[in-house]
Amino acid sequence: MSLPFPYKVMSVALAGCLGGCASQSELTALRLDPGNPKYRTEDCQRSIEGGTVHRDIKSVTMVATPVLLVVSGGLLLPVLAANAGLDAADRIDASNMANRCGSRGESGAEIAGSVATGAALGAATGLAPK
């Protein structure tokens, strides 16, 4: 199946624009204080290592989202819902990582607000959540 030229351009541009985005788990790991005694615990280090899965998922969704939107004929809602679920999982894991490593993680309400904001932005712009 050959895509019309505007869709090809849009897909490539979107993938390029999103290429620099980091997962919440990555950002949280970078903000942790290595001088905190909890940082050196096994639980903390395991959380940091486990957070890399979200980086990989984010990389795949940045490419897959525009492709799925084009292939599905623009069915935004299912793509948005899937990406919101992945965003929520990333934010929950990032919050748990922060708590295990001696920092303050986001509350459930803060996570829900961030996911909802991302989904609303995605719906308003026709893109998936950040």
**C-alpha–C-alpha distance, residues 126 and 64, integer Å:** 14
Question: Per-residue pLDDT for 10 more than 60?
Answer: no
Tell me what percent of the residues of the chain surpass a pLDDT of 90: 52
Residues 111/91, Cβ–Cβ less than 8 Å: yes
The pLDDT assigned to 110 comes to 96
Average pLDDT over residues 48-72: 88
Residues 79/12, Cβ–Cβ less than 8 Å: no
Question: Per-residue pLDDT for 17 more than 70?
Answer: no
